[in-house]
Amino acid sequence: MKYNFDETVPRRNTNSLKWDAAENDKVIPMWVADMDFRTAPAITDAIVRRAQHGIFGYSRTPVAYYNAVINWFERRHQFTIQKEWILYTTGVVPAVSAVIQALMVPGDQVIIQTPVYHCFFSSIRNNQCEMVTNKLIYKDGAYSIDFDDLERKASHPKAKALLLCSPHNPVGRVWTKDELMRIGDICLRNHVIVISDEIHCDLVFDGHRHIPFASINREFLQNTVTCTAPSKTFNMAGLQVANIIVADEKIRKKIDKSLNINEVCDINAFAADALIAAYNRGEEWLEELKRYLYANYICLKSFLDLQLPSIKVLPLEATYLAWIDVSASGQFSRIIAEHLLRYENLWINEGTMYGDNGEGFIRLNIACPRQLLITGIEKLRLIMNYSL
């Protein structure tokens, strides 16, 4: 491989949330979704060039920024975007919050599909909206959508939006075109807008294809707000840049106003240059990263199959976040997470962070050098053997 993903890059004492939030320096953090790999060299080079200029005054977002986004989604996802559809902001979570604030009123219902990314909960509650759960169906080691329940929930007169996670965090699903079509048809029939969080869209593994929800047909395009970012793809969350893609002009104006009211309508010069470099010159790095991440998944799965056969890691179609069924232990996921941290200095996420139907699961970030992953899963083995 051209890029060395086995390199251990010290991150402690760098003000890293992932590494420096722990109470002691023995903790191995495999919780929050950032990677322990250096970003693509093209991104670092762009930031260094910008820094060497030495003046960091107010900046504008150049046409090259929009072109980079447009060309990336056309090339990688066959999604044709127009420049005027793009609104930039500091992150996908601020984007989701701004969209809900722009399009909902207090008391409106927003549907989510749990277990799901936990920040969805706060974005809904902070805007005084009602959270309605369309729980995913877990059967035979895989997740699917409960479409009958979704139809019932969407038909409620207060239901105004579906907050879709695509690809899905934490269960690792890449929704098929048929699944997305059924979602879209239900939402159109019931006048429910789709807010599609597609932040993990570039971390999809062989055999699966991410389909931008808004790209399926014109009706879906006009009924969708798509939230994207290069942050997960290129490990640049700290640079704080994301995009909201909205084809409908009236909806776009409302969201733009919300972004301005909340003063999250600007990005810094480093973020703009980094995005341009990532989307224009980061593709080779990304393809090698995906191969390494999937090999990490196979390493984890093989280890668990051999050492802990009653503990199942679910199929990973996308993301670098392994969703692990630990229900055979008979322990609450919170207890397992606490014991891992207390006795083995391994920090993971308990499943109930993502909704009550996350009970019996844990989430493990596998985006790290393989040797560190092996150290972490050996710690998992020690605790789970004790539990079992």
- The domain limits of the chain are 17-41+283-387, 55-281
Side chain identity at 50, as an amino acid letter? Answer: R
pLDDT tens per residue, range 6-64: 999 999 999 999 999 998 999 999 999 999 999 999 999 999 999 999 999 999 999 99
pLDDT tens per residue, range 278-317: 999 999 999 999 999 999 999 999 999 999 999 999 999 9
Q: Which parts of the chain are beta strand (E)?
A: 28-29, 86-89, 109-112, 130-133, 137-139, 142-144, 159-165, 193-197, 224-228, 242-246, 312-313, 321-325, 346-347, 349-350, 361-365
250-280: b (≥16 Cβ within 10 Å) or e: ebbebbbebbeeeebbebbbbbbbbbbbbbe
What is the value of pTM for the model shown?
0.97
The rounded distance, in Å, linking the Cα atoms of 46 and 39 is 12
pLDDT tens per residue, range 203-261: 999 999 999 999 999 999 999 999 999 999 999 999 999 999 999 999 999 999 999 99
CATH topology (fold) of 55-281: Aspartate Aminotransferase; domain 2 (3.40.640)
Report CA torsion sign: 24, 27, 29, 35. positive
And the tokens for 359? 């009970």
The two domains 17-41+283-387 and 55-281 share their CATH topology (first three levels equal): no
Averaged pLDDT score across all residues of the chain: 97
And the tokens for 172? 């690792």
Give the CATH number of domain 17-41+283-387; options: 3.30.70.100, 3.30.70.270, 3.20.20.10, 3.90.1150.10.
3.90.1150.10
Work out whether strand 349-350 and strand 312-313 pair parallel, antiparallel, or are unpaired.
unpaired
Q: How confident is the model at residue 264 (pLDDT cuts 50, 70, 90)?
A: confident
